[in-house]
Structure formats: structure tokens, C-alpha cells
Amino acid sequence: MAEQDDIRAMATRFFDAIEAGDIETMKNSFTPDAEIWHNTDELIVTRDQTATTLSGMVTRIKDREYADRQLTVFPGGFVQQHVLKGVRTHDEGAVRLPCAIVCKVEGGKITRLDEYFDSAHVAEFRKFANA
């Protein structure tokens, strides 16, 4: 049970860090060789690539919130369903991106993160990626 409590705390810190724009804490939640997979492009990226992507999101989306968090912890990992909400900095438009994340955890760090988005929501989100 202690392992699952530790995983729950780590998962909460991970998403809280992204909300706060603390990319270094987010990055340090991963092992150096962690794999991050996206269902929308079926690519596996590194924690450094993820940190770069999220750094860009932080500059373009303010008032970030992982709303409606539904976190389920199990031995060796967790799954979380949530809605990323925020406000685009360039036009004050609302952002809403439902997501499910499945993570494998070893030694208190994420070794693999699988990210599931609805492609229609991602398309809307990415329309303003370069704004």
C-alpha cells in the first residue's frame, strides 16, 4: 500500500507541476530513458522532447488546470483521466482538452507514459500552436 501512496503523491506532483509551469519538476518525474507515446501520432518521444513541448504550451496557455482529475493507482503505475483547461495568451480563447494518461512507474519515476487524446480536440488545440 505504501508504494501506491507514493505513486499517488508522485502523480499529483507531476500534474501540479505542469499546471504551475514547473517544467523541471515535471521532467524530473521521469527516468532519463522514459518513453512518452501519443495516440494521435503514434510516436514515442523522450522526456526532453516532452519538456520542450510543454514549455511551449506553458508560454501559450495561461491559467492551466487539470480539471476533473480521476486518478487510479495500481502496483507499478497509474492511470488518470482529466480535462486540461486554460486560456490562450494570444487571444484569451478558452482551451479544453480531455485526456487519459497511463503511466508505468518504477522507483518513484515514470518509465513510460501513454497519452490518449481525442483527435478532434487535439486538432482544435493545435490550430493555435504557433500563435
Q: Would residue 131 count as lying in a domain?
A: no
Kindly report the CATH number assigned to the domain that includes residue 96. 3.10.450.50
Other Cβ atoms within 10 Å of 101 Cβ, number: 21
Q: What's the total number of domains in the chain?
A: 1
Q: What is the amino acid identity at position 111? A: T
What is the residue range of 24's domain?
A: 2-126
- Percent helix, strand, coil in the chain, to 5, is 35, 45, 20
Give yes or no for a contact between 100 and 80, defined as CB atoms under 8 angstroms apart: yes
pLDDT value at residue 125? 61
Model pLDDT for residues 26-71, shown as the tens digit of each residue: 999 999 999 999 998 899 999 999 999 999 889 999 999 999 999 9
Q: What is the pLDDT of residue 118?
A: 77
Give the span between the Cα atoms of 67 and 9, in whole angstroms.
17
Residue 105 pLDDT greater than 90, yes or no:
yes
Predicted local distance difference test score (pLDDT) of residue 1: 67
Angular region, 113: left φ>0, alpha ψ -120 to 50, beta rest: beta
Confidence at residue 121, expressed as pLDDT on a 0 to 100 scale: 59
